[in-house]
Amino acid sequence: MTTATHTRTDRPGSRLAARLDGRLLSPGDAGYDPARTVWNAMVDRRPRMIVQAASTADVQAAVRFARDRGLEIGVRCGGHNVAGFAVPDDGLMIDLSPMGGVRVDPVRRLARVQGGALLGALDRATQPYGLATTAGNVSHTGVGGLTLGGGMGWLARRYGLACDNVESYTVVTADGEVVTASRTAHPELFWGLRGGGGNFGVVTEFEFRLHRTGTRTLVAEFDFRAEDAVPVLEGWRDLSAAAPREATFTADVGDGPAGGGPLATVGFVWVGDPERGRRLLPALRALGRPVATRITTPSYLELQRRDDSTGGHAYRRYSAGHYLRGFPTAAVEAFLLRGAADLRGGGSGLPGVGLQAHGGAIADVPDGDAAFGHRGTMFEFGAGSRWTDPAEDGARMTAARAAGSAIAPYANGVYVNSLTAHDGQGGVRRAYPAAKLARLAALKGVWDPHNVFRLNQNIRPAAA
Ligand code: FAD
């Protein structure tokens, strides 16, 4: 045996490395730390090895290798999951980042999107044809995690959630096989992949249906002093219920300029001809006397990047979320308070809170059609905090949880993709009504009976 061969075979996973189209990274290798670093800076875990998969065959090899050795698997696409589920401590991380390609067929209006693609890549590939499909609001989020949990975006009220626009999934299963799931091939798996998260395998390709959306949008925002905003939010809620599907109503409350007290911002995002969107403006202007107004007409690609820096990397993050079927006055008051005792005292480390309207095409999809849990939602609520000093961890998380608890009495469930590590199985039960969870557990028992894919919002397999 030559020294070189000896060195190669001694290194953990060297046989695996030799088979890969991509790379195998171990602690100490160049690229190891960037690959294990995810969006939430509170996540600091060290995988035993990282497979940077460049092909479906790489994913198959990685799954089989990890399964045979009992290594916990983490799957990384955009790395945005707030709980950091992509990164297993001492396990094997499958980093899909090298598989970020998107191919568009503008004639058939289909996009083939690799499992590691970011939303920005999807939008950039489709927009030159005036096409798009539902994708989230920050361009560096992964198509993978977002779509598998449901996928909410500015087009969802018109065309359904991201998962409602998937025609087929190519999946590497727990035993390392490749299957395609669609309405006609493995339809039950297709059902589960539409909202069931990363529980059933590693998706190496999504086939998306595209829509003629054009490239233009309108964004309207009206700022009010939070302490005056109860009637404003009530009026905004009622306008949202009657709004055309091109409009997604938004509201948030955050710290205003120093000394000014908290601000409540209400408005909407319109995808389509801005002139038609402007017709909604008089009704919003009639809600009250705003302290500031912003009406902008970004291109769709600009809109999709608009929140990239507020949603940026390298901050410590914590959040609490709910789905709301209604937004009664008591919930409006709780929303404005952000979990604090009164409306004064902005800048005190309280989380920002926000609402984004559901309804429209999301609610058109029959509930039994997909694993996604809460079609009847009126608004998604989120309370989010970002900071840099670890000494603030406890206070920030407590404050975000308090804002979430204040809204909890009005909630009907939660978005599976907003669950934190603290939510555990209770969170999974809130994400899926009991009958859906039982169906998902049975499906998990078929495709992953030994729970190989468990570092996620885990659906425990039902016994066969
Ligand atoms: P990752 O951390 O890479 O993946 C999360 C989990 O998804 C993995 O642990 C794995 O279980 C699974 N997974 C990912 N890819 C695959 C794959 N190819 N095959 C199998 N399993 C996979 N959600 C919305 O719906 N709409 C939004 O507008 C939105 N905006 C967001 C903005 C920001 C700044 C952030 C941080 C999150 C946002 N989210 C939004 C939530 C988002 O959907 C989740 O954080 C989601 O988990 C992100 O997916 P990812 O691929 O980036 O994350």
CATH number where 23 lies: 3.30.43.10
Exposed/middle/buried for 70, CB within 10 Å: 0-12, 13-18, 19+? exposed
The pLDDT value recorded for residue 8 is 44
For residue 256, the one-letter residue type is: G
Mean of the per-residue pLDDT values of the chain? 95
454 in a structural domain: no
276 and 413 in a single domain? The answer is yes
Q: Which domain holds residue 327?
A: 217-426
Residues 6+ apart with CB under 8 A from 164: 134, 194, 361, 362, 365, 370
- pLDDT of 442 > 60? The answer is yes
State pLDDT tens for residues 269-319: 999 999 999 999 999 999 999 999 999 999 999 999 999 999 999 999 999
User: What integer is the mean pLDDT of 122-144?
Assistant: 98
440 in a structural domain: no
- CATH of residue 147: 3.30.465.10
The pLDDT value recorded for residue 4 is 42
Distance 136 CA to ligand 1 centre (A): 10
Name the residue at shortest CA distance from atom 29 of ligand 1: 136
127 and 259 in a single domain? The answer is no
Name the residue at shortest CA distance from atom 4 of ligand 1: 145
282 and 326 in a single domain? The answer is yes
Q: Find the Cα–Cα–Cα–Cα dihedral 146, 441, 435, 159, rounded to 10°.
A: 20
Q: pLDDT-based confidence at 5, cuts 50/70/90?
A: very low
409 and 371 in a single domain? The answer is yes
Q: Which residue has 């970011």 as its token pair?
A: 118
- pLDDT of 264 > 70? The answer is yes
222 and 355 in a single domain? The answer is yes
349 and 276 in a single domain? The answer is yes
User: What integer is the mean pLDDT of 38-60?
Assistant: 98
Distance 90 CA to ligand 1 centre (A): 22
Mutate to test the pocket of ligand 1, among 45, 60, 76, 80 (most ligand atoms within 8 A of CB): 80
163 and 295 in a single domain? The answer is no
Q: Specify the ligand 1 atom closest to the Cα of 150.
A: 25
Residues 6+ apart with CB under 8 A from 155: 132, 133, 134, 135, 211, 213, 271
For residue 2, the one-letter residue type is: T
The pLDDT value recorded for residue 193 is 98
State pLDDT tens for residues 226-249: 999 999 999 999 999 999 999 999
112 and 86 in a single domain? The answer is no
Please give the Cα distance from 144 to 166 (Å, whole number): 12
6 in a structural domain: no
Report whether 165 contacts 209 (CB < 8 A): yes
Distance 420 CA to ligand 1 centre (A): 12
Residues 6+ apart with CB under 8 A from 259: none
Q: For residue 333, give both structure tokens.
A: 């008051």
Distance 141 CA to ligand 1 centre (A): 6
461 in a structural domain: no
Find out whether the beta carbon of 94 lies less than 6 Å from any atom of ligand 1.
Answer: no
**Number of alpha carbons in the 13 Å side-chain half-sphere of residue 309:** 2
Mutate to test the pocket of ligand 1, among 40, 51, 63, 75 (most ligand atoms within 8 A of CB): 75
389 in a structural domain: yes
Please give the Cα distance from 353 to 410 (Å, whole number): 15
| Domain's final residue, options 155, 182, 213 | 213
Q: Specify the ligand 1 atom closest to the Cα of 141.
A: 52
122 and 244 in a single domain? The answer is no
200 and 229 in a single domain? The answer is no
* CB neighbour burial string for 36-61, b if at least 16 within 10 angstroms, e if fewer: bbbbbbbbebebbbbbbbbebbbbbb
In sequence order, what are the beta bridge partners of 142? 118
- pLDDT of 7 > 80? The answer is no
| Domain's final residue, options 59, 78, 95 | 95
Please give the Cα distance from 376 to 223 (Å, whole number): 28
Please give the Cα distance from 430 to 440 (Å, whole number): 14
Exposed/middle/buried for 385, CB within 10 Å: 0-12, 13-18, 19+? buried
Name the residue at shortest CA distance from atom 11 of ligand 1: 198
Q: Specify the ligand 1 atom closest to the Cα of 453.
A: 11
Q: Specify the ligand 1 atom closest to the Cα of 137.
A: 28
Q: Where are the beta strands (DSSP E) in 272-416?
A: 292-296, 316-324, 352-357, 379-387, 411-413
Alpha helices per DSSP H over 194-342: 230-241, 274-278, 281-285, 300-305, 329-337
The pLDDT value recorded for residue 355 is 98
Q: Determine the distance from the C-alpha atom of residue 183 to the mean position of all C-alpha atoms in its chain, rounded to a whole number.
A: 24
The pLDDT value recorded for residue 463 is 83
Please give the Cα distance from 249 to 243 (Å, whole number): 8
Q: For residue 294, give both structure tokens.
A: 């912003």
User: Based on the structure, what is the number of domains in the chain?
Assistant: 3
Distance 404 CA to ligand 1 centre (A): 21
User: What integer is the mean pLDDT of 213-220?
Assistant: 98
At residue 339's C-alpha, the angle toward residues 334 and 341, to 5°, is 90
The pLDDT value recorded for residue 1 is 38
23 and 153 in a single domain? The answer is no
Find out whether the beta carbon of 203 lies less than 6 Å from any atom of ligand 1.
Answer: yes
Report whether 413 contacts 340 (CB < 8 A): no
Distance 239 CA to ligand 1 centre (A): 30
The pLDDT value recorded for residue 341 is 67
| Domain's final residue, options 213, 247, 274 | 213
Q: For residue 105, give both structure tokens.
A: 């067929």
Q: Specify the ligand 1 atom closest to the Cα of 204.
A: 18
Mutate to test the pocket of ligand 1, among 85, 89, 141, 318 (most ligand atoms within 8 A of CB): 141
Please give the Cα distance from 117 to 99 (Å, whole number): 6
9 in a structural domain: no
Find out whether the beta carbon of 86 lies less than 6 Å from any atom of ligand 1.
Answer: yes
Find out whether the beta carbon of 40 lies less than 6 Å from any atom of ligand 1.
Answer: no
- pLDDT of 9 > 90? The answer is no
- CATH of residue 352: 3.40.462.20
**Number of alpha carbons in the 13 Å side-chain half-sphere of residue 191:** 20
Distance 199 CA to ligand 1 centre (A): 13
**Number of alpha carbons in the 13 Å side-chain half-sphere of residue 229:** 31
106 in a structural domain: yes
State pLDDT tens for residues 184-201: 999 999 999 999 999 999
The pLDDT value recorded for residue 80 is 97
User: What integer is the mean pLDDT of 9-26?
Assistant: 87
146 in a structural domain: yes
Q: pLDDT-based confidence at 6, cuts 50/70/90?
A: very low
Distance 145 CA to ligand 1 centre (A): 3
356: left (phi over 0), alpha (psi -120 to 50) or beta: beta
In sequence order, what are the beta bridge partners of 254? 263
Find out whether the beta carbon of 76 lies less than 6 Å from any atom of ligand 1.
Answer: yes
Report whether 205 contacts 112 (CB < 8 A): yes
Find out whether the beta carbon of 416 lies less than 6 Å from any atom of ligand 1.
Answer: no
Please give the Cα distance from 462 to 455 (Å, whole number): 17
207 and 229 in a single domain? The answer is no
Distance 330 CA to ligand 1 centre (A): 32
User: What integer is the mean pLDDT of 442-459?
Assistant: 97
